[in-house]
Amino acid sequence: MKIRRRRNSTEKVMDRISVLPKTILHDILGRLPDKDAAKTSVLSKSWSETWFSFPVVAAWSKDFFNMPDLQLSPEDPLWLSRLDMFIGYVSKRLRRLHDQGLAVKELKLKMKYISDKMLVSHYHHLDEWIQMASESGVEVLGLHLALSLDKFYNLPLCLVEAKSLTTLVLTGGIRLDPAFLNHSLKFFSVRKLLFHSILLGDERVMEHFISHCPLVEYLTLIHCLPYKPSSVGDPPGSRAHYVKSLSLHGLQKLKQVDVQGIEEIYIDALNLENLRYAARIWDASKLNLSSYKNLRRLSLCFVRRADMWLLERLPKIPFLESLTLKDCSLSERINIPGPQLKFFKLLNCPNLKEVNIDAPNLLSCEYFGKDEPVISFRGISNQLEVNARIHMDHQDVDRLRQFIQNIEPQEVLTSLSLCIIPPYSIIESLATLPGSSSPPTIKHMQLCSFSPRQTQYFPVMNWLLSSCFPETISFSLNYSFNMREFMVYFYEMLMGSKKGECYCFSRGPECWWHGLKVVKITHLERTYENVEDLKAMLNALPFADNYEEEFISFTLELYADI
């Protein structure tokens, strides 16, 4: 009887929800993952009607195909049955909405896992789906296919009927046919446009398409390829190449642009606030805007002589708040002025010797690279935090201290993420590296490295602490680094149980870091003090195997003047 009462109670709650207005029920479904939203159709007749009137049609091929299915031949009966289920599901949902005159607000199809195996004869279903969605007032259309130069899907001209379209996302093996050039497109409602790795039947067709979206606010164009089907005897893909130039005019509402893989680009957009431009690996690239006055965020990637481009244009960008230079070729010495600059990233730009930053309002600076340039800051804010990430190999034993000393003033260096690349042979040979003089202090060091062999524990530890004094040091728990034994050794050395291993006790003078103690250990915001058995504590923790790194942090204090 108790079980029966609980069932009735649950059913009453469901009945109360079911009588809510359809708009509220649709809002509930819209907040659920697509797969879970679909499951509500079996709860009751009322929920089934709610589901089939839900104006969002979304299907992901991985929900219909198991991973082993994807390895099957496209002629295999099981593979074909899975494909029929996918096609039948989308067709049924769209047909029901279309035939009842109901709106289709969103159509999102993710078919990357299956589109490259689908026969061209199946593509007519995509045409029908886009036709029905266009006639039903679709606002968001997302189509994701696998990139293939041998087999692609021609976007149908019926898309021009989608007058209510606000968002269009196309990725993969989709081709904009040159026939679009002969049509007067009227996408006056489009606010967001994203083309990623699509094919262009004519290089002009993308520019033509965008120019007929006059109110677009967010534009993303990534590695789109002008492509004509190969003639007999042509190697596969031989007729594909990157877009050489793009000129956009009259886009007065445009706020954000992300363009990658286009050699020359001109943008006429007075209200542009956010621009990311990635050239083709140091090609001779040209980037010009009609106006820079409203630009707030700028990111340049693979741009040749990016510092010369900035030298000319930074005075024209008075309100720039965020600047990122990634994989750009630069002069050995660069200057970064920015009265309003708050965030600056300098990532993997080689051959730098000196970086001078004059940005009094700068809050964050991030550096990643293989060089040790002098990085100096003028008129700094007391809120400035500098975070650095460097990779070091076995030949860089002197570089760590040099890199830290090259930050001027040194106290702004908030954290240093260090990855040491094996082998450690040269570090091991420096077991007698003198550690008597106190090195520069940094607030935090994060160590993401493959664990050294046990015989290398002391040389690596001595090298680290002879190069810098980290107020806290964090060790990655990722299983691929396997650093737990090294953590235990590091801890026990500082807490005194292994002091006798250090050469300074027999040769002197005593290393400065023997006065260091671990005063607390932190893991996932929990703090531990006076840990007696760190090894047992670590063994009780699961290995982190995800991209969200977990760390164990030691807070260090110097208890004696050496």
Beta-sheet strands, E only, within 327-433: 333-337, 343-347, 354-358, 364-369, 374-378, 385-392, 407-408, 413-420
Residue 333 bridge partners (DSSP): 354
Would 519 be classed as within a structural domain? yes
Would 308 be classed as within a structural domain? no
Would 489 be classed as within a structural domain? yes
Asked if 325 and 306 count as a contact pair (C-beta separation under 8 A), the reply is yes
Question: Before 423, cis peptide (omega within 30)?
Answer: yes
Asked if 414 and 443 count as a contact pair (C-beta separation under 8 A), the reply is yes
Count Cα atoms within 13 angstroms, Cβ side, for 127: 10
Q: How many CB atoms lie within 10 A of CB 390?
A: 20
> Per residue, what are the HEC states of 190-251?
CCEEEEECCEECCHHHHHHHHHCCCCCCEEEEECCEEECCCCCCCCCCCCECCCCEEEECCC
At 481, list the tokens.
Answer: 């680094």
Total number of domains constituting the chain: 1
Residue 558 bridge partners (DSSP): 516
The residue segments making up the domain with residue 545 are: 460-561
Residue 562 confidence (pLDDT): 44
Using DSSP's 3-state secondary structure scheme, residue 459 falls into helix
Asked if 451 and 481 count as a contact pair (C-beta separation under 8 A), the reply is yes
Q: Closest Cα partner for 274 from 311, 310, 224, 323?
A: 323
Count Cα atoms within 13 angstroms, Cβ side, for 237: 7
Asked if 205 and 183 count as a contact pair (C-beta separation under 8 A), the reply is no
Count Cα atoms within 13 angstroms, Cβ side, for 168: 24
Mean pLDDT per segment of 10 residues, for the chain of length 562 residues? 47 55 59 63 61 78 75 78 89 90 91 76 91 95 86 91 95 92 90 95 92 96 81 51 87 95 91 93 76 94 91 92 95 93 95 93 93 89 90 70 88 86 58 60 86 79 87 88 88 75 62 86 90 89 66 88 48
Dist. CA 355–CA 331, nearest whole Å: 10
Would 475 be classed as within a structural domain? yes
At 37, list the tokens.
Answer: 């939203």
Q: Closest Cα partner for 192 from 212, 218, 210?
A: 218
Question: Before 409, cis peptide (omega within 30)?
Answer: yes
Dist. CA 20–CA 255, nearest whole Å: 39
Could you report the per-residue pLDDT of 95-144, keeping only the tens digit for each? 988 988 888 999 999 988 777 777 677 889 999 999 999 999 999 999 99
Would 402 be classed as within a structural domain? no
Would 493 be classed as within a structural domain? yes
Residue 330 confidence (pLDDT): 92
Count Cα atoms within 13 angstroms, Cβ side, for 34: 17
Whole-model pTM: value is: 0.83
Residue 442 bridge partners (DSSP): 470
Dist. CA 55–CA 93, nearest whole Å: 9
Would 512 be classed as within a structural domain? yes
At 272, list the tokens.
Answer: 């542009």
Would 473 be classed as within a structural domain? yes
Q: Closest Cα partner for 447 from 485, 486, 404, 476?
A: 476
